[in-house]
């Protein structure tokens, strides 16, 4: 791989936390190869991408050679220029992480990177990392086919092995391994993400070894340890895994005694929104209009308006001001259809049934009578 | 000579400085429209003093109410900083993910009020925690590069370039500013330089006593997202992804300003992004509670001489409850009522602190004394007096002034008693089931303002409910005492909670034109447009336009004529058919022709093409106003957008 010309481009794909960038970066560091790594999400402009490629490969002065708004040909020209000054003894590597974002940038960027070796006449290989398969990348106009490498998900055994490597320094590796086993038993069905599992292991290990610390059990009593930790892990799945509560709050909760710990209400428990009176009716009407079939509208809406006229508070000269745009800003109504249809904006109600039922209860409007699906 | 030139042109002559008129001040505007300019300056000053006090009090209240939530927010930020400082010493810190501490601040749907809260938060953070605080709004962050640019520019104070933008013509004012790249790497480098400088000079600086050593060395960078729901989710997600890559080098912290509920975070951010944040929830005071505190401070007190009457208060409260939940708009409505009162009521010169009012009473002009005598409440007072007294009151100006002073003192006493009794009654009845007299004290206050509260059915029921006793013949000690207490309170209510209309000179302090207020605050532009179109004389006041019974004269603007035409049509209007049958004298305009030295007005018929052209122009104006709209259902047709009594 070092002195010969290597394959111009490699495409590596796999799910989150399957070790793609970890393996690549470890390899490049261990073998002390010259490389530049760029995460495409940071590159709000193409110039930034080019700069971040040139800086690690050619030093801090190289970026100044680029013009203010460099195009691809500028980049190629500068690269060639810099190559002349610092010719490559080994293959240079350019690692592009989150490469799927290249598809949204200028159309010539992706094909160019795939055959950069040819364009700059230098011994360089471009490695693309992505979670999306190559079939979704291939441009319509065709391109150079890179070498495809797939990183499959870890199996349960592999996860066990990897996670057990980072055992806690104060405890035996076997104990930690048992802990990981229990953790995987609870979480493997919902989560295979290595990073997330490691995070959960870190948060919950202290609770796991609590009975050991307190001297209640011995290391070999795995069953007792399991009984202690399993309900907490199940609760963790409902709360900290879903980020209903933050990790810090979770740690605090674990430290508190059972009796003291009140339930920390998760984020989604606070779904109540206080709305002004007319906004509530507007939202109800929008919900009815969005979710009832169009032909039933006449039947429901005439009755609906009749109901409003019967109540006393809508006086004749008082008209509710247009609040549709503010409901849109609150994401309770979504705009549907083209932006350029200014004369006929279409909206759709974006709230759930539970939410709208709660609201209709606060204004004493029996909503269920008007919902087509419930008749 | 100054206007001679080779080509035709337009020449501007600015007025010379000497001739330039003095720009009118607010006071001039106020006094210009006043009935009586003699005391209008005094009224203006009263008005201003009262408004400044009201403003200061409500701002103080806002600060106090915000304090609790700001304190907990500051505590959270300080705690997060120390977590950052802990570093990777222990095993847990090495293993766990580095999340960005995030405070989810739920503020409520009254978005206009949030600006003040965020300003307050920003200021407090900059004073006591860190100088690196930046606020962003959704409107400025339509794309990722804009967002990064705003954040970087506001933090670093230099201008940040985004490559694909054109270089502006003028350079920035500060010549030392360089243009830097729009990326977080720049921010990292800047942060390192700035904190090195800080550490070097921290020994010299002994000011910050409340900030820990950690924070002096590594002050956190706080990014406040003022209106989270309005942000483009993709932009937000990308921003968080970028920031989390630098979380070890930059101590970043986020504050999300949420209007609806915290579950909006889960709607906007997928799990892969929200797992990069450590989110904790902070709820602020509900806006109805805030309103209750404001009303308590500004209206239910004898400290403020100005008072809105029942209907006016009802208008303001219903706008709050039905439309926008905005306390700021409520206060603006009160300010409008204040201004209207002082502007329209000449006797409001007496509406100020008691001592000053007594002095002004002695200085009333003859015209003002007449006005006083004509006040309905004063006339009622006169009728209740003996014949001797009545004669004096109607004839002697000095006596009227003396009596006025006495009545003003009585009014003050009335208010002191009223509010105390009101609060007693509220506490007594607020916890009853089904809230017969209202759950909030403002509801009770409004019913007391409108009529004698003891005549209310609910009041009688309330007393009865509280007097409920067991059906034993002998009443227990407690029940006897209870009945006595209730009778005492009932007597207090009857003597002190009479509505203000029962007090002479109440018009001085109470503003009662709720219709005027409603017209200003609940504007209906559609009604104005329709009036203008169907009856142009109403606004233009041109005699040629005067027309009876809903017809419109041919001299009216074209759009009025076409508007009337369209009202007679059905849902779909056939434009071609109408334009074929337009009478030539449908639109005519008087025009002035210069014949020699005299100017002659004549009306002329339009030719066919001109008529059709004007018709089409008027139709497009009508479309612009939103009355009709082009439709695909039939060619050459337009559809009506409004119905019925237009």
Residue B223 has pLDDT above 90, yes or no: yes
Residue A29 has pLDDT above 50, yes or no: yes
Residue A262 has pLDDT above 90, yes or no: no
Neighbours of B585 (CB within 10 A): 12
Give the count of Cβ contacts less than 8 A between chain A and B: 156
Q: Residues of chain B with pLDDT > 90: what percent?
A: 15
Q: Are B77 and B129 in contact (CB under 8 A)?
A: yes
Strongest mean pLDDT among B90-99, B172-181, B567-576 = B567-576
Q: Do A267 and B279 touch (CB under 8 A)?
A: yes
Greater confidence, A256 or B472? A256
User: What pTM did the predictor assign?
Assistant: 0.76
Q: Which of B109, B235, B268, B530 to mutate to test the interface with A (most CBs of A within 10 A)?
A: B109
Average pLDDT on B75-93 reads 75
Greater confidence, A317 or B353? B353
Q: Is the dihedral of CA B478, B480, B486, B492 positive or negative?
A: negative
Least confident of A119-123, B18-22, B180-184, B360-364: B18-22
Residues B179, B259: Cα–Cα separation, whole Å: 36
Q: Are A243 and A225 in contact (CB under 8 A)?
A: no
Least confident of A128-142, B287-301, B468-482: B468-482
Q: Residues of A numbered 237-276 whose beta carbons fall under 8 angstroms of chain B's beta carbons: which are they?
A: 242-243, 245-249, 265, 267-268, 270-276
Query: B280 — contact with chain A (CB < 8 Å)?
Result: yes
| pLDDT band per the 50, 70, 90 thresholds, residue B267 | confident
Q: Give pLDDT, residue A310.
A: 30
Query: B104 — contact with chain A (CB < 8 Å)?
Result: yes
Q: Is the dihedral of CA A342, A348, A351, A356 positive or negative?
A: positive
Query: B266 — contact with chain A (CB < 8 Å)?
Result: yes
Which residue from A minimizes the CA distance to B109?
A275
- Enclosing H/E stretch for A348: strand A346-349
Greater confidence, B188 or A319? B188
Residues of chain B with C-beta less than 8 angstroms from the C-beta of A201: 95
Average pLDDT on B584-590 reads 68
Residues of chain B with C-beta less than 8 angstroms from the C-beta of A344: 629
| pLDDT band per the 50, 70, 90 thresholds, residue A301 | low
Q: Give pLDDT, residue B78.
A: 83
Q: Do A276 and B144 touch (CB under 8 A)?
A: no
Which of B79, B96, B238 is opposite residue A41, by nearest beta carbon?
A: B238
Residues of chain A with C-beta less than 8 angstroms from the C-beta of B286: 274
Residue A43 has pLDDT above 50, yes or no: yes
Q: Is the dihedral of CA B131, B137, B139, B143 positive or negative?
A: positive
Residue B164 has pLDDT above 50, yes or no: no
Query: B97 — contact with chain A (CB < 8 Å)?
Result: yes
Digit-coded pLDDT (tens) for A226-248? 888 888 888 888 887 877 778 88
Residue B356 has pLDDT above 70, yes or no: yes
Which of B181, B264, B283 is opposite residue A48, by nearest beta carbon?
A: B181
Greater confidence, A269 or A48? A48
| Closest CA–CA distance from residue A75 to any residue of chain B (Å) | 14
Residues A109, A143: Cα–Cα separation, whole Å: 11
| pLDDT band per the 50, 70, 90 thresholds, residue B317 | very high
- What is the bridge-based pairing of β-strands B133-136 and B100-106? unpaired
Residues B620, B628: Cα–Cα separation, whole Å: 9
| pLDDT band per the 50, 70, 90 thresholds, residue B459 | confident
Structure-block tokens of residue A78 = 């500068």
Q: Do A330 and B109 touch (CB under 8 A)?
A: yes
Residues B564, B583: Cα–Cα separation, whole Å: 15
Query: B88 — contact with chain A (CB < 8 Å)?
Result: no
Query: B193 — contact with chain A (CB < 8 Å)?
Result: no
**Angle at the Cα of B80 from the Cα atoms of B76 and B82, rounded to 5 degrees:** 125
Residues B110, B62: Cα–Cα separation, whole Å: 14
Residues B467, A332: Cα–Cα separation, whole Å: 48
Least confident of A72-76, A120-124, A354-358, B298-302: A354-358
Digit-coded pLDDT (tens) for A201-216? 888 888 888 888 888 8
- Per residue, the 3-state secondary structure of B413-431, as one string, reads HHHHHHHHHHHHHHHHHCC
Q: Residues of B numbered 543-582 whose beta carbons fall under 8 angstroms of chain A's beta carbons: which are they?
A: none
Q: Do B271 and A243 touch (CB under 8 A)?
A: yes
Q: Residues of chain A with pLDDT > 70: what percent?
A: 83
Q: Residues of B numbered 511-540 whose beta carbons fall under 8 angstroms of chain A's beta carbons: which are they?
A: 522, 524, 526
Q: Do A42 and B183 touch (CB under 8 A)?
A: yes
Which residues share a beta bridge with A10? A127, A147
| pLDDT band per the 50, 70, 90 thresholds, residue B611 | confident
Neighbours of B97 (CB within 10 A): 17
| Closest CA–CA distance from residue B472 to any residue of chain A (Å) | 41
Residues B529, B626: Cα–Cα separation, whole Å: 11
Average pLDDT on B52-67 reads 88
Residue B236 has pLDDT above 90, yes or no: yes
Least confident of A24-33, A137-146, B318-327, B471-480: B471-480
| Closest CA–CA distance from residue A4 to any residue of chain B (Å) | 34
Average pLDDT on B38-47 reads 84
A283 in helix, strand or coil?
A: helix
Q: Do A247 and B288 touch (CB under 8 A)?
A: no
Digit-coded pLDDT (tens) for A54-93? 888 888 788 788 887 888 998 999 998 888 887 777 888 9
Which residue from B minimizes the CA distance to A242?
B271
Q: Where are the alpha helices (DSSP H) in chain A?
A: 20-30, 46-58, 72-85, 109-114, 116-120, 156-165, 173-187, 194-208, 210-213, 222-238, 247-255, 277-291, 297-310, 324-329, 353-362
What is the full DSSP assignment across B294-339?
HHHHHTSSTT-S-EE-HHHHHHHHHHIIIII--HHHHHHHHHHHHH
Q: Residues of B numbered 428-457 whose beta carbons fall under 8 angstroms of chain A's beta carbons: which are they?
A: none
Count of alpha carbons within 13 Å of B316, Cβ hemisphere only? 30
Q: Give pLDDT, residue B224.
A: 94
Q: CA-CA distances (angstroms) from residue A172 to A178, A203, A211, A220, A228?
A: 10, 18, 16, 11, 19
Residues of chain B with C-beta less than 8 angstroms from the C-beta of A318: 522
Q: Do B92 and A206 touch (CB under 8 A)?
A: yes
Average pLDDT on B450-470 reads 79
Which of B92, B95, B164 is opposite residue A69, by nearest beta carbon?
A: B164
Strongest mean pLDDT among A41-45, B104-108, B412-416 = B412-416
Q: For tokens 């010539």, what's the residue?
A: A108
Which of B163, B227, B322 is opposite residue A69, by nearest beta carbon?
A: B163
Query: A201 — contact with chain B (CB < 8 Å)?
Result: yes
Q: Do B266 and A267 touch (CB under 8 A)?
A: yes
Q: Give pLDDT, residue B225.
A: 94
Residue A4 has pLDDT above 80, yes or no: no
| Closest CA–CA distance from residue B224 to any residue of chain A (Å) | 18
Query: B229 — contact with chain A (CB < 8 Å)?
Result: yes
Q: Give pLDDT, residue B214.
A: 54
Q: Are B182 and B145 in contact (CB under 8 A)?
A: yes
Structure-block tokens of residue B487 = 């009778």
Residue B167 has pLDDT above 60, yes or no: no
Count of alpha carbons within 13 Å of A272, Cβ hemisphere only? 6
Q: Do A246 and B245 touch (CB under 8 A)?
A: no
Q: Is the dihedral of CA B329, B332, B337, B343 positive or negative?
A: negative
**From the CA atom positions of chain B, what is the Rg in Å?**
35
Rounded-to-5 percentages of helix, strand, coil across chain A: 50, 10, 40
Digit-coded pLDDT (tens) for B489-504? 889 888 888 888 888 8
Residues B244, B252: Cα–Cα separation, whole Å: 9
Among residues B282, B359, B335, B276, the alpha carbon closest in space to that of B96 is found at B276
Residues B636, A263: Cα–Cα separation, whole Å: 66
Which of A39, A70, A344 is opposite residue B245, by nearest beta carbon?
A: A39
Q: Residues of chain B with pLDDT > 70: what percent?
A: 85
Residues of chain A with C-beta less than 8 angstroms from the C-beta of B274: 243
Query: A171 — contact with chain B (CB < 8 Å)?
Result: no
| pLDDT band per the 50, 70, 90 thresholds, residue B627 | confident
Q: ipTM of this complex > 0.90?
A: no
- Going edge to edge, which strands form the sheet with A35-39? A35-39, A92-97, A124-130, A9-13, A147-150
Least confident of A334-338, B505-509, B606-610: A334-338
Q: Do A68 and B167 touch (CB under 8 A)?
A: yes
Question: What does the mean pLDDT of chain B come to?
Answer: 81
| pLDDT band per the 50, 70, 90 thresholds, residue A318 | very low
What is the full DSSP assignment across B138-188?
GGG-SSHHHHHHHHHHHHH-S-EE-TTSPPPSSPPS-TTPPPEESSHHHHH
What is the full DSSP assignment across B39-90?
THHHHHHHHHHHHHHHHHHHHHHHHHHHHHHHHHHHHHHHHHHHHHHHTT-S
Phi, psi angles (nearest 5°) of residue B627? -90, -30
Q: Where are the alpha helices (DSSP H) in B363-470?
A: 366-374, 376-384, 387-395, 397-429, 441-450, 457-466
């Amino acid at each position: 791989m070092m002195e010969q010309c290597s394959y111009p481009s490699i495409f590596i794909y796999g799910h989150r936390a399957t070790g793609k960038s970890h393996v690549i970066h470890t390899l490049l560091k261990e073998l002390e190869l010259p490389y530049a790594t760029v995460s495409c999400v940071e590159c709000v402009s193409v110039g930034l991408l080019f700069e971040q490629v040139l800086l690690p490969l050619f030093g801090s002065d190289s970026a100044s050679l680029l013009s203010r708004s460099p195009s691809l040909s500028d980049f190629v020209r500068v690269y060639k220029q810099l190559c002349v000054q610092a010719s490559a003894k080994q293959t240079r590597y350019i690692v592009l992480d989150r490469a799927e974002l290249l598809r949204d940038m200028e159309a010539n960027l992706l094909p160019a990177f795939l055959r950069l070796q040819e364009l700059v006449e230098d011994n360089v290989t471009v490695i693309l990392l992505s979670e999306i398969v190559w079939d979704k990348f291939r441009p319509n106009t065709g391109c150079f086919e890179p070498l495809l490498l797939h990183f499959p998900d870890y199996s349960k055994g592999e996860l066990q092995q990897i996670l057990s490597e980072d055992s806690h320094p104060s405890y035996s590796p076997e104990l930690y391994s048992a802990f990981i086993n229990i953790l995987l038993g609870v979480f493997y069905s919902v989560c295979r993400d290595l990073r997330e599992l490691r995070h959960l292991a870190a948060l919950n290990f202290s609770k796991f070894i609590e009975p050991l610390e307190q001297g209640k059990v011995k290391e070999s009593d795995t069953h007792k340890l399991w009984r202690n930790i399993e309900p907490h892990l199940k609760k963790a799945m409902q709360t900290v895994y879903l980020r209903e509560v933050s990790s810090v709050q979770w740690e605090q909760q674990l430290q508190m005694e059972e009796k003291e710990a009140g339930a920390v209400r998760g984020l989604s428990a606070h779904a109540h929104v206080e709305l002004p009176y007319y906004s509530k009716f507007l939202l109800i009407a929008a919900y009815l209009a969005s979710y009832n079939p169009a032909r039933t509208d006449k039947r429901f809406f005439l009755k609906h308006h009749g109901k409003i006229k019967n109540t006393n508070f809508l006086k004749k000269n008082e008209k509710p001001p247009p609040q549709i745009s503010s409901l849109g800003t609150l994401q309770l109504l979504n705009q549907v259809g083209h932006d350029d249809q200014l004369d006929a904006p279409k909206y759709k109600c974006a709230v759930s049934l539970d939410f709208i039922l709660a609201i209709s209860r606060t204004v004493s409007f029996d909503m269920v009578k008007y919902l087509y699906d419930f008749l | 000579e100054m206007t001679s030139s080779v080509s035709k042109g337009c020449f501007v002559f600015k007025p010379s400085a000497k001739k330039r008129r003095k720009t009118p001040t607010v006071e001039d505007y106020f006094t210009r429209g006043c009935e009586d300019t003699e005391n209008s300056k005094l009224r203006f000053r009263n008005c201003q003093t009262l408004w400044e006090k009201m403003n200061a009090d409500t701002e103080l209240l806002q600060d106090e109410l915000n304090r609790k939530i700001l304190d907990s927010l500051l505590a959270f930020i300080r705690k997060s900083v120390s977590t950052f400082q802990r570093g990777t010493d222990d095993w847990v810190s090495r293993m766990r993910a580095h999340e960005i501490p995030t405070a989810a601040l739920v503020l409520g749907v009254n978005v206009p009020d949030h600006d003040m809260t965020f300003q307050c938060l920003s200021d407090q953070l900059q004073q006591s925690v860190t100088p690196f605080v930046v606020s962003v709004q959704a409107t400025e962050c339509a794309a990722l590069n804009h967002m990064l640019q705003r954040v970087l520019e506001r933090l670093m104070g230099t201008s940040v370039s985004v490559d694909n933008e054109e270089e502006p013509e003028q350079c920035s004012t500060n010549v030392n500013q360089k243009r830097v790249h729009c990326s977080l790497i720049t921010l990292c480098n800047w942060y390192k330089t700035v904190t090195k400088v800080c550490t070097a000079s921290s020994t010299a600086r002994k000011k910050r006593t409340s900030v820990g050593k950690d924070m002096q060395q590594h002050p956190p960078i706080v990014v406040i997202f003022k209106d989270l729901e309005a942000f483009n989710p993709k932009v937000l997600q990308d921003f968080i992804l970028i920031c989390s890559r630098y979380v070890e080098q930059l101590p970043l912290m986020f504050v999300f300003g949420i209007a609806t509920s915290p579950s909006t975070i889960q709607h906007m951010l997928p799990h892969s992004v929200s797992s990069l944040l450590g989110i904790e929830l902070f709820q602020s005071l509900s806006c109805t509670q805030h309103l209750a505190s404001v009303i308590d401070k500004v209206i239910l007190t004898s400290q403020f001489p100005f008072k809105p009457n029942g209907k006016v208060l009802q208008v303001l409260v219903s706008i709050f409850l039905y439309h926008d939940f905005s306390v700021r708009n409520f206060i603006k409505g009160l300010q409008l009522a204040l201004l209207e009162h002082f502007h329209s009521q000449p006797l409001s010169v007496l509406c100020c602190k008691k001592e000053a009012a007594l002095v002004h009473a002695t200085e009333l002009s003859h015209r003002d004394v007449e006005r006083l005598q004509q006040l309905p409440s004063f006339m009622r007072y006169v009728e209740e007096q003996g014949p001797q007294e009545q004669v004096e009151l109607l004839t002697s100006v000095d006596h009227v002034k003396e009596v006025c002073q006495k009545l003003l003192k009585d009014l003050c006493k009335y208010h002191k008693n009223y509010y105390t009794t009101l609060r007693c009654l509220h506490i007594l009845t607020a916890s009853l089931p089904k809230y017969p007299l209202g759950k909030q004290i403002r509801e009770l206050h409004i019913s007391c303002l409108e009529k004698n509260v003891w005549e209310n059915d609910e009041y009688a029921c309330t007393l009865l409910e509280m007097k409920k006793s067991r059906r034993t013949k002998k009443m227990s000690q407690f029940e006897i005492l209870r009945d006595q207490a209730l009778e005492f309170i009932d007597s207090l209510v009857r003597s002190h909670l009479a509505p203000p209309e029962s007090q002479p000179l109440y018009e001085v302090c109470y503003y009662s034109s709720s219709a005027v207020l409603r017209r200003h605050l609940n504007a209906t532009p559609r009604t104005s447009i329709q009036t203008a179109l169907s009856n142009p004389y109403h606004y233009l006041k041109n005699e040629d336009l005067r027309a009876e019974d809903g017809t419109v004269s041919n001299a009216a603007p074209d759009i009025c004529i076409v508007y009337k035409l369209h009202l007679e049509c059905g849902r779909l209007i056939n434009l071609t058919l109408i334009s074929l049958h337009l009478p030539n004298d449908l639109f005519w305009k008087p025009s002035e022709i210069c014949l020699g030295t005299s100017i002659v007005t004549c009306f002329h018929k339009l030719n066919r093409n001109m008529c059709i052209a004007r018709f089409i122009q008027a139709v497009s104006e009508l479309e612009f106003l939103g009355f009709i709209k082009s439709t695909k259902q039939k060619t050459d047709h337009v559809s009506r957008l409004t119905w019925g009594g237009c």
